[in-house]
Structure 1
Amino acid sequence: MKEEELLKKRLLELSQKAYTQNIYTYTHFLNEYEQSIYKEVQKDLTFVDSHLEGGHEYFTRAIVIFGSEEMFGYKGEIPLVCVRISPVFDKFAELLTHRDYLGALMHLGIERHQIGDILVDKKTAYVFCFEHIAEVLEKELVKVRHTQVQVTKILSEEVKFTQKFQKKEGFVSSMRLDSVISLAFGLSRKNSALLLKGQKVFVNGKLLIGGDHKVETGDAVSVRGYGKFLVGTLGKQSKKGRQFVVLEILC
């Protein structure tokens, strides 16, 4: 609770600074729970424009930017950049995981809130981070596990990562959140309810603890420890009133 209150206080301070000094301000990278807190207090920060920026469409971690061109009359630079980590010798490179890359970054003394998402595509990884962190990585990151790597700062349009989805379809008793989660990850309704009570479920970035929330086509549902999925098309109902639904699970 103390950390939650500190974050709310920090969000208010940054919003007031942006408003009174006519400058852009921004947070560190927020996880999904912290983003949910931001969305909760956003209604009290209407005196300043603000939005989340993660660097790509399906971000999990993001910064909050306070300010806009409409508000200030000038366009501010987004302090978020992307670096590409690739093997020096592709032939001898290992197939590294998200955990491998994160471990290598932590080993350099970089704190988790200083970097955003790490997208892994075969033998290449894309890391979203602050400009000064990118400079550290370009100079100091030379190896991930046993693989020698090179780090290059790139433009967002140079990110070659394409989000992959695994389609899962089936019938649910209703479009209740707990029922749809059960279908997505093959869980019992009881276990889905425990995840909700444990504050591990987010719908469109908002923390939800009630399984009776009705999800709709286009909603993005994230379950900490399991993954993220999009609610796709709805089919016809069965004779018993069960709803056919197609889910797209992020791989």
Structure 2
Amino acid sequence: MSIYQHFRQEEKEFIDQVIQWRTYVENAYAQKLTDFLDPREQHILQAMIGTHSNVKWELFGGTDDSERKRALLYPEYLPIEKEDFHITLFQIDYPKKFISIEHRHVLGSLMSLGLKRGKFGDILLNGDNVQFFAAEGISEYIQMELRSIGKAAVTLKKIPLYMAIQEEKCWKEHSITVSSLRVDSVISSMFRISRQKSQLYVQQGLVKVNWTVISQASFICEEGDIISVRGGGRGKVLSIDGKTKKEKWRMIVGIQK
């Protein structure tokens, strides 16, 4: 039985990478620290490593409730500390009286430096306070090169991880039923819009699953998926609880608007 059949076709490359990481730790008796992983990648890593392997793993993204986290794979006899994750927290200073900075502005500016998304973690906003986590290995490069975000001139200041701000997040759990696990059906029930409208959002490139634009309305959703509709909201498939007597799927979802 192939391990790939339990995952999506497009996840094969990441699965192979996890296997390489595990093999390295087993053979070299050394730690392996990954880039920041999104929740779906974290789920795959946990499933692939398991709980009975000689290789252990921990996840940390700067705070215990970070969404994007680095994984540390290590031999079971090695102790680990939070410092082993090598994460830097940046505070962004900018002229707050004259301009505002949004999540997309920070993301775009970091990507424009030629960085992979995995090199930095959560972007935190609370009012006009803006911070982000980054891999320690590239922190000097970011601090030297990132001079503006959007239209704002900025300076970056490294601060201790315990000073991370608490984001103004509001997730609400809901129980829904869907006719199928297709993304258009899930979006329709999750955000209480028509199936036709959810299909249109997909066609227009406004829907992302696990931070990847989805172009097919027939895409099948799974537990742990983060689904976002540009301008419409963000949700997570928390659990899929089987079918009802009428052959509809029962799901628990978290919704953030």
- Where in structure 2 are the equivalents of 1:172-183 lying within 5 Å? none
**What's the C-alpha RMSD, in Å, of the aligned pairs?**
4.0
CA contact (8 A) 1:54 1:63 kept: yes
CA contact (8 A) 1:95 1:122 kept: no
One-letter identity of the residue aligned with 2:74? G
Residues 162-220 of structure 1, C-alpha deviations (whole Å, 9 max, x = no match)? 34216587x8569x98998655422357859x99xx9938xxxxxx9468x8xxxxxx7
The CA deviation at 1:113 is 2.1
Q: Of the candidates 56, 66, 90, which is equivalent to residue 49 of structure 1? A: 56
Q: Percent identity?
A: 24
| Aligned partner of residue 10 in structure 1, secondary structure | helix
**Residue 165 (structure 2) pairs with residue 160 (structure 1):** yes
1-structure distance, mates of 2:173, 2:10 = 37
1-structure distance, mates of 2:108, 2:228 = 19
CA contact (8 A) 2:26 2:54 kept: yes
2-structure distance, mates of 1:73, 1:51 = 11
CA contact (8 A) 1:199 1:209 kept: no
One-letter identity of the residue aligned with 1:223? I
Aligned partner of 1:185 in structure 2 is: 191
The CA deviation at 1:2 is 7.4
CA contact (8 A) 2:57 2:74 kept: yes
Aligned partner of 1:100 in structure 2 is: 105
Q: Of the candidates 200, 207, 224, which is equivalent to residue 209 of structure 2? A: 200
CA contact (8 A) 2:126 2:168 kept: no
User: More deviation in 51-60 or 99-108?
Assistant: 51-60
Judged with a 3 Å threshold, the aligned counterparts in structure 2 of structure 1 residues 180 and 133 are, in CA distance, closer, same or farther, namely same
Q: Which runs of 5+ in 1 are unaligned?
A: 202-207, 214-219, 232-245
| Aligned partner of residue 118 in structure 2, secondary structure | helix
TM-score with structure 1 setting the length = 0.67
CA contact (8 A) 1:12 1:45 kept: no
Q: Which runs of 5+ in 2 are unaligned?
A: 1-7, 211-218, 239-251
Aligned partner of 1:123 in structure 2 is: 128
Aligned partner of 1:66 in structure 2 is: 73
Q: Of the candidates 84, 88, 99, which is equivalent to residue 91 of structure 2? A: 84
**Residue 137 (structure 2) pairs with residue 132 (structure 1):** yes
The CA deviation at 1:48 is 0.5
2-structure distance, mates of 1:109, 1:160 = 26
Aligned partner of 2:4 in structure 1 is: none
Aligned partner of 1:227 in structure 2 is: 234
CA contact (8 A) 2:228 2:234 kept: yes
| Aligned partner of residue 91 in structure 1, secondary structure | coil
1-structure distance, mates of 2:166, 2:141 = 23
One-letter identity of the residue aligned with 1:90? K
Aligned residues: 218
One-letter identity of the residue aligned with 1:55? G
Residues 48-91 of structure 1, C-alpha deviations (whole Å, 9 max, x = no match)? 001332223443322221027x621464611222211121x332
Superposition misfits of 4+ residues, deviation over 6 angstroms: 176-181
Aligned partner of 1:111 in structure 2 is: 116
The CA deviation at 1:117 is 1.8
Judged with a 3 Å threshold, the aligned counterparts in structure 2 of structure 1 residues 142 and 20 are, in CA distance, closer, same or farther, namely same
User: More deviation in 128-137 or 38-47?
Assistant: 38-47
